[in-house]
Structures are given as structure tokens and as C-alpha cells.
Structure 1
Amino acid sequence: MAVFAPDDNQSRHIRLAIAAIMALAVVVTAGTFVVDPAESVPDPVAYDDTTELGLSSETDAMMAGNATLPRTQVFYSQLQYVVGYNGIGSFVTSLSDGRTERQFGYPLVAYVETFDHQNPDTTSDGLFTATGAGGWTPAEEAHYVVDSDARMPAGEAVIPFRSREAAESFAADHSGTVVDWKSIRNRSFDVDSATTVRSLAPSRWQEANDRIARAERTADRPVSVVVGDDAPTIDAAVEEAPSNTTVVVPEGVYRETVTVNESVTIAGDGARISGDGNGSVVTVRAADVAIRGLRIDGVGNRTRDAEAAPTSKDEAWDANIQNGYGHGDAGIRAIDAPGLVVDDVVIETNASGLLLREGSHAVVRDLRVNGADTWQDGFMGITGMESRVTVTDSRFDGGRDGIYLHRADDSIIRNSTFTDNRYGIHLMFTGDALVADNTARNELFAGITVMTRPSGNAIVGNDVRNSSAGIQSSGTRTYIGYNTLVGNELGFSTSARGSLYEHNVVVDNELGARATTIVPSSRVVANDFVGNENHAAAGAGALRVWADDDRGNYWEGANVGRHSFGERAYRPTSPVDSALHREASAVTVRESPAAVLLDRLRGTVPGARSGSIIDPIPASEPYNPERIGAVTGPDAEREGSIHADWRAELGSLIDEQDTTHENTTNQNTTNRNSARVGDYR
């Protein structure tokens, strides 16, 4: 069977160097193994046994039953894990990425999923579909259908077949062309990536502006009923008011609960609605309701429905969350109420402030939620269950989570403040969101956390301090940029796969960053690490290369010693390098002949440093000196929130990319033709 064969001088040097440094292998390559391609070529494994890269589990689940994603599994020479790629294009693109070979070694063999006998076709939406799992065929032996009418959610569809006859049959039915592996290797793929998410962040901000403008038009309605003049209570006034009119609530305290079944605006003027401590105070069951200028208290203490049962054993956790969290008490509870507007509202509660359920998409501006002093005694400032929310200029103090969203894609949270919560912002199963320019302080677990592998989130320009963690985001295709993370136990973790972490200022944390994914697939570049007890740490897995082309990160202490900029890599996980910014004696140890030799030997073995990080070109100066100065200078204690002008910077970057797109595409094609990892031989 043919295997991938490295075809350049560096890769040949790698094979020779492995034999030369076996005496140091226990120290240098602990926790990994090296596959000798001359001894054996591994057989394919069950895809569930691979370490998966590519689309998120949410996308996979969405496609299950009616669409199929061709998959690839790859065995790398210096990696003890089989890597699974969703889609052929994502693997081909990785072959021209220098980081992949440096971190994993070269690919020994790749298998693609072929669909000769799985009734390949397309769905009514044009997605590729097949019955059952396909077989596994070595990539260079398969035949590929391209340019057909079949497509995939994340890019161009390339459909592999074992036999040419099966490929030609599918191509004839779906207007495609049959090509071989060499043609696929030389093909340029427009793979949806974290860079795409970065380019979308400014437009998502503008989308929030548009949603707010529409909400203002919705809320601006003629007055029909004035409480006290035309009706004795708010609830009676709302019931009496015609649709698309405003109920005015004059100053005073109204001891009642309110149910809204019509599309009306409730506009308070120094008015307070005080419930009796049982259940929700305001319940909305109609579309396009607006609630403005009210103060709400007297909310019941039920935070969830303890009797909510899961629909099945497999869905127990998710169902418990949706049925439980979505059925507690709230200051304002919306059920199947799309188009809700909440503006200039203050809620005091030990349960939820605003609860959105069953598609109650909402725009929230200037909301203040004062929660319980102890998070175990409270709940969420906003709970959004399957309901998109746009939040701006709001504040959440105390309680469990400031904002908790569950299956609330396309949500936007910006310009808001979170203090003394468990989590400030907590997203579950929520993708394509923008979390931008928020401030978090004294969060028990994390300022911003994203769980359950969603896709396409942008976390930009936030300021998190004095918390257990700044940003912890799982998922894929996540953009985490221009954040300011100061005085936390952990600045950020690289839990998201296929993601981009850039221009984050990470200052005075106990640990600046932690690499957590076993198979590294993200870029960490142009970040500033200053004054941290430890700049970075890594869990088990292959070497992480934190640089991109000619850019690394700025690490305080990385460039000390007798060498010029760019001559020596920086390893924040090594005992010596990690102490350079704290202990003067570490410089002497780093310059010793033994340390220099060991550095050189380490540099010859790709993928063989388990649990380690390397920046081959650490920056000589910070990328973001103004923000560093703002949080470390003499006035730092008096500084408010620090937010980078990321929209302007990303806008300039996008304009630059647009003008060079054609040249870049041509160059990428050239690069793939001369990629360091060769074709099968």
C-alpha cells in the first residue's frame, strides 16, 4: 500500500535526526510514539475512534438522517491519535499548512470514506446524502466527483468513490466531473474557517444596530390606555388595549401580576410592578410586545421545574436543561413571543430576570438585573431557551449566570457588564453568536464560557478581570480576538478547535493561557503575555506551534539573552523559558551549551513534545502596547473597561484582504502544488 512520502530536505532531515537523538528521546518525546512507515501501514479505524476536526457536533447532528458528510481519517508519523476530518477539503487544505507537519509529523496514510453501494444522492436542499456508512479507501486509490450539484454546509462537496464506474454514474446524474487524487491535491478549497468568522464580526455588530432600530419602531405606538385613568390595574389595561397601541403606567407601585396576550407596548414612568413572591410577575404570550421604563420585584423563587422529565435516556441531560431551566419564575417570562422588546427595565430577583422560551426572540437594551448575593441561591439574569437574544448596554449583578443561552444561535451580547456571577456569559449549543465589548468582574467560574461544541462564535473586545477564568470556549471555527484579560486565575483556554486567538492582551494572570485540545488545530498569534505567573501551559497532546507565517506572540522575557530577535524560539511550557520573565538566573541557564543543544535537538522532531508549546518567532515588541499600558500604568486602578477598536482594525484588514484576494488565491494554488508534504508515491 502506498504511503505519504516527505519529499523535501527538512523532512528527510527529520527522519535522520530521529535516529540521532534516541538517547534523549525519553526527555524530549515523552508521551508520544513514532510510527516507522517501513514497518507497517495502519488499517483504518472506526471513525468514532478518531480525534475529530472539522464541523461541530451540532452540525453533524443537524445533518444526521437526511444528509451525509464525506470523512477522512489520517495517520501522522509523530501523533498517537488518528485524526478525523469532516470533508475532503479540510484535510487537503491542512497539507499546505506548515503547522500541521510541525505539530503532527507527516501523514503516513489517509483513508477517505467512499459511497459506491450507499445509494448516493442529494436531499431536497441539495445536500449530499447516502444510506449507511461508507467504506474506507486509501485516498490515492479513490475517484472523486467534483463540481456537481451536491453540496455540504461548510463548503464545496467532494464525493469519493472506490470504483471509477460508481463515480462516473454519480457524476452523470448530478452534473459533476470525475478526478483523481492528484487533481484533488492541487485543488484550492474555500474552507469555512475562523478567519471567515472574524470577517463577519463587524457585520454582526451592525446587525445588532438594525435589530435595535426595528425594536424602537415596534415599541413606538400611540397611547390607548392610561392605568388609573382608563383602567384600574396594569393587567386590566393590557387586556383592554387594542393591538399595536401603548399602555401608559404612571409613577407608583402596582402590586399585581400581568399577562400580555396582545401586541402592545407597556410604557412605565417611574412605575414599579411588585409581585407577591409566587411565580412570574409579567408573562408575555404574544408577538411584538414591548416593555419599557418599569421596575419589577416580588418574583417567585422557583428557578426550574423539578418535575420536568427527559424525553428519552439519551436526551436526559439536554431535556432536563430545557424543560427545567425554561420553566422557572422570572421578572418577565416570554413564551412563544417573538419580537419582544425590553428597554430601560430593572428587575430584582432570586430566580431569572428575563426568561425567553419557545422562539421568544428578543431585543434587550438597558436592562438591569440584581440577583442573589450567593449564586447557589439565585438564577440567570437572562435565560434564553431556543430564543435568539440581542442584548446591549445592560448590567447583571449577582445570581447564577448573567446570561445563559441554550440553542440560541445568532444571538448578540455587547456593551454589557457582569459582576459577581458564577459565569458572566454562558452559552450552550449556541453558535454564530457575537459576544463583544462586555465587561466582567469577580466571576466565580469564568467571565465568558461556551460549551457543547457550537460553531462560528466571535468573542471580541471583552474585558474580564479578577475571575477564575477570563474566556473558556469550546466548539469549532471560533474567533477570540482583541480581549483584555487581567488578574484572573486563567486568562483563556484554547478549547475551541479550528479557531483563531489573536490580539488578546493577557496580563497579570496566574496562568495566561492553557492549551487543552489533544490534537491542536487552532492558531494562536499576535497575543501579548505580560506579568503572568506562568504565561502558558499545555495538557496532553502533540506539540502546539503558536505562530502563523512570520508572526508569533509577544512573551515578556522571551527575547532576553545573547541572541538577536528571531534567532531563538520561545517555549512557555519549558522550565527555563517559563521563568525568564520572573527570575534573572534563568537567563544564564538558557544560554548554557547544554540548553542550546537540547533546543536544537527538540527542533528536529515534529510532533514529539507532548504537553508543550513553542513559539518559533516570538515578537520583540507588544502588539497592543496601549492596552497593556492602560492596565499596568499608574492610573490602572482608576481605569474603567478597556475595549479595543476592533471594528476599525478588522474593517481595515477585511478591505486589505479584499484587494489581494485574487493574488492570494493564485499563490495558494502555487503553494499547494509545491507543498512540503508530497503526494503518495
Structure 2
Amino acid sequence: MKKLVSIVCFWLLMMGTTYASEFDVQGEIDATEEGGVLIIPPGHYKGNFTITKSIVIKGEEGVKLVALGKEPALRIEQANNVVIENLAFTAKEKAIVASDVEGMKLRQLTIENVHTGIHIQRAKNLSLQRLSVTGNDEHYSKKGNGIAIFKSKDVIVADSKIRKVQDGIYIEEVERIAVHNNSVNNSRYGTHFMYTSDADVQNNVYLHNVTGLMIMMTEHLQASKNKLANHQNLNGYGMLLYDVEHMSLQNNTIVNNRVGIALQKSEIILIKHNDFQMNQTAIEGTKLDSETLVTANQFTGNILTARSDRDGFRLESNYYDNYFGVDVEGDGIGDIPYVAFSSFGQWMVRQPVYQYFIESPSVTLLTTLDTQINKTEQTVLVDDKPRVTMQQNVEKASDIYITQLLVGLLVSISGLWLWRRGMK
């Protein structure tokens, strides 16, 4: 019986292998009419395949294209409306290379153990969705990018997972791009923008990279509802902006980074409604214009809230957990300005071991002296209207008091009614 089972299993294995080897992928691509659909049956197919026409290629479960040598597994050139769906790839160098394409869609692809996942240049109306790209364990200098897009227009990269590459999503000279709902971890940069305009970065998760978002020589970019956490390397940043214009950062969560957001040589930056938690330095700025505004953010558990060069940047109506002022009027705004300066914090970001002395009497005294006598720093990084927790507590307390009043009134009326019934 065991011998029979072994023979059957061997026969099935051989049939599967023969089935895969007899299916000529390139021949079938060439034979499919313009705009047609090609279904690839299960199997591993070795080769370097090329597409030069409109075609839809879908893989059944278990299809993998394996590149031979250093050429890509799949090359797409001068073709419109190409759709590649439900395939797996592996390659020594690049898995997919596309040039001079329009209307291309890459969906539900798995790319593993590659130097570079997807390399695209000169594309229009490009959609990359539900991709999984995993690089290798080499040093960053020996890796390529997960997804790289050059000189293209109208692009969406969404719902993808990328790890162990150099830059998760590298974008250069692209006009109008949406980067939504992706996750990038254990890479150098999560998403790297260069010379790009009109970008929307939303609902992405960047964890354990050197830097989550690297944005350089770019304009008109919006980043919202992203999470950037655990970028603690020597040169690690949750987000770094260099030579950026007209950028809005709103509703992001920035946690446990060496520097939460670094701004360098940038103009007209709005940082609003973000949550900065447990960063060594929450915001760092140099060579900024007077239009850069940090407002309505929450700073909790950071060693240093902000530091800058002499010009600084504007702080307005933020909440700071190390603000010690009072709110006599009860309007939720502190009665004395918040000065974002800490001698001890400056030392601690350079020598993290000093964190063991936080809240010691000497550090508390030093912090108090900073806010009272450090006149040079009070010309920059000052929030004249800091928000305080009292406003939040008052709102919550008022809700509680009203509820308690209504419940108490109801109980009293019920008790009085029951007492009068008992008296009768």
C-alpha cells in the first residue's frame, strides 16, 4: 500500500512538473491577440519574458516566474493597458522592469529574494496595488529598491507590503502620485521622494527603518494619517524634509524616533494635528521661512520638544506635557507662554544615559530656570497660546457632572415616588 501511494505521489509530481515545463510562457504571450487575456497554469517558469503589447496576464494559484541570469523576470516595453495579476516572482537583480507604458496595472503580486522588486520609468496612469516585496538580508548598500518609479505621471501605489530593501518606494521626477495604505519596514527609507510634485501620502505605516519618509526637492505634498515609529538609528528620522515647498503634515502619529520630524531648508510647511510621542527630539528645524507653522499638535513623552537655528519656526496652540503654566480663565489656553527650550534635554539627546535623571530635583530646577532666565531662546520656539489639559478635563468633567445630575435627579424622583406609595 505504501509503495502504491509513493508511486501515485511521484506520478502526480512528474505530471505537475511536465505541465509547467510544457507551457511556453513567452510563446503564449506572443500568440495572445492584442488586448487579449492569458491565464498561466500553476508551475514555476524559468526565463526572461517580454511584453510589447496590450495584454492581461493572470496566474492561477502557484504560478512563479523565475529570472535567468541578471536579466529581469518580466520586461514590459512600449505597451498600453497591460495588466499583470496574481503572479509570484524571484530574480537575482530586478523582478519587473517597465518602460514607456501607459495604463499599466500590477495587482496582487508577490516578489521575494530580489535585489530590486519593480523598476518603472516613463509611465502614465500607473496603478500598483496589493503587492508584497521582500528583499534580502544584505547591507543597504547592496540592496535595490522595493518599488522605483522615475519620470512618470498619475501614479497610485496602494495596499502593499515591503520589507528588507534599500528604499521601500522610491519616487523621482513624478507628477501626481498617491501613496496610500502601504507598510514598509526594516529598510533604509520607507518612501523616498526626489524632484516630485503633487503627492498624497496617506494611511501608511513605517516601522524600524533608518528613516520613515525622506522628502527632498519636492513641492506640494500632503502627508496625513501615517504612522512613523521606531527609527532610532544614529541618523534616524521619522520624517526628513530637505528643500521642500508647500507641504502639509496632518493627523500623523510619530512615535519613538531619534528625531520625529526634521525640517531643513524648506518653505511654507504646515504641521498640524499630529501626535508626537516618546521621540528623543520631536521637531528639529534649520533654515526655515517664517511661514512654517506648527499648530494644534500634541507633544507627550518627548525628551526635547523642539530645537532650531536662530530663525526657528512658529509654534501656535500646541499641547505640551512639560508645560507648567496655569489656566486661570479656564479657556484651555495657558496664561504664560511655553518656551521650547531645555538645557537638560539638549544634553540628553546627545547622551541618552542622562534620561535616568529625568524628574530629579536638580533637573526640575534647571527646567524652571530655563523658562525664566533664558532670554536668547525666548525669541524663537515660543508658543504664546499653549493648550493645557484643563480644557479637556473641563469638557469631560462637565459631561460627567451633567450625567451625574440627571441620574441623581432620576433616583431622587423615583425614591420620592416609592416613599409616597409606601405611605399610602
TM-score bracket for the superposition, by shorter chain length: 0.7 to 0.9
Alignment of 1:461-540 (within 5 A): 461-467=225-231, 468-474=236-242, 475-495=244-264, 496-538=266-308, 540=309
| Aligned twin of 2:86 | 293
**Aligned residue among 161, 171, 193 for 1:395:** 161
| Aligned twin of 1:546 | 315
- Considering only aligned residues, what root-mean-square deviation do their CA atoms show, in Å? 2.9
The C-alpha deviation readout for 1:248-277, integer Å capped at 9, x for no partner, is 001111112210011001100121111123
User: Which residue identity lines up with residue 384 of structure 1 in the other structure?
Assistant: I
| Aligned twin of 1:236 | 27
User: Which residue identity lines up with residue 386 of structure 1 in the other structure?
Assistant: K
Measured in 2, the distance between the counterparts of 1:420 and 1:427 equals: 18
Asked whether the 8 Å contact 1:459–1:481 carries over to 2, the reply is yes
Measured in 2, the distance between the counterparts of 1:362 and 1:623 equals: 47
Measured in 2, the distance between the counterparts of 1:466 and 1:498 equals: 27
Alignment of 1:7-22 (within 5 A): none
User: Which residue identity lines up with residue 566 of structure 1 in the other structure?
Assistant: G
Give 1:244 shift.
1.3
- Taking structure 2 as the reference length, the TM-score comes to 0.76
Asked whether the 8 Å contact 2:288–2:312 carries over to 1, the reply is no
**Aligned residue among 381, 385, 397 for 1:617:** 385
Measured in 1, the distance between the counterparts of 2:292 and 2:314 equals: 9
Structure 1 pair 340/562, CA: closer, same or farther in 2 (3 Å)? closer
Alignment of 1:335-350 (within 5 A): 335-350=99-114
Give 1:545 shift.
2.7
Measured in 2, the distance between the counterparts of 1:534 and 1:590 equals: 12
The C-alpha deviation readout for 1:311-364, integer Å capped at 9, x for no partner, is xxxxxxxxxxxxxxxxxxx21111101111000101124322111112354201
For the residue of structure 2 that corresponds to 1:254, the secondary structure is strand
For the residue of structure 2 that corresponds to 1:557, the secondary structure is coil
Asked whether the 8 Å contact 1:247–1:265 carries over to 2, the reply is yes
| Aligned twin of 1:413 | 179
For the residue of structure 2 that corresponds to 1:506, the secondary structure is strand
Measured in 2, the distance between the counterparts of 1:434 and 1:295 equals: 28
User: Which residue identity lines up with residue 450 of structure 1 in the other structure?
Assistant: I
Alignment of 1:47-62 (within 5 A): none
Give 1:450 shift.
0.5
Structure 1 pair 411/487, CA: closer, same or farther in 2 (3 Å)? same
Measured in 2, the distance between the counterparts of 1:228 and 1:424 equals: 40
Measured in 2, the distance between the counterparts of 1:536 and 1:264 equals: 53
For the residue of structure 2 that corresponds to 1:356, the secondary structure is strand
Give 1:624 shift.
10
Structure 1 pair 353/623, CA: closer, same or farther in 2 (3 Å)? farther
- Taking structure 1 as the reference length, the TM-score comes to 0.49
Measured in 2, the distance between the counterparts of 1:561 and 1:575 equals: 22
Asked whether the 8 Å contact 2:339–2:371 carries over to 1, the reply is no
Measured in 2, the distance between the counterparts of 1:417 and 1:500 equals: 24
Measured in 2, the distance between the counterparts of 1:256 and 1:624 equals: 63
| Aligned twin of 1:383 | 148
Measured in 2, the distance between the counterparts of 1:419 and 1:236 equals: 38
Higher relative strand content = 2
Measured in 2, the distance between the counterparts of 1:247 and 1:376 equals: 38
Alignment of 1:11-160 (within 5 A): none
| Aligned twin of 2:208 | 442
Measured in 1, the distance between the counterparts of 2:76 and 2:292 equals: 43
For the residue of structure 2 that corresponds to 1:541, the secondary structure is coil
User: Which residue identity lines up with residue 168 of structure 2 in the other structure?
Assistant: G
Measured in 2, the distance between the counterparts of 1:562 and 1:409 equals: 47
Measured in 1, the distance between the counterparts of 2:215 and 2:177 equals: 13
Structure 1 pair 448/575, CA: closer, same or farther in 2 (3 Å)? same
Give 1:520 shift.
3.6
**Aligned residue among 234, 238, 246 for 2:37:** 246
The C-alpha deviation readout for 1:274-327, integer Å capped at 9, x for no partner, is 112321110111111000000001x233xxxxxxxxxxxxxxxxxxxxxxxxxx
**Aligned residue among 359, 378, 395 for 1:583:** 359
User: Which residue identity lines up with residue 259 of structure 2 in the other structure?
Assistant: L
For the residue of structure 2 that corresponds to 1:300, the secondary structure is coil
Measured in 2, the distance between the counterparts of 1:405 and 1:610 equals: 39
The C-alpha deviation readout for 1:571-592, integer Å capped at 9, x for no partner, is 112437989x943645556667
Contiguous gaps of at least 5 residues in structure 1: 1-226, 302-329, 603-607, 626-681
Give 1:595 shift.
6.0
For the residue of structure 2 that corresponds to 1:542, the secondary structure is coil
Alignment of 1:185-204 (within 5 A): none
Whether 1:430 aligns to 2:173 is: no
The C-alpha deviation readout for 1:48-69, integer Å capped at 9, x for no partner, is xxxxxxxxxxxxxxxxxxxxxx
Residue correspondences, number: 353
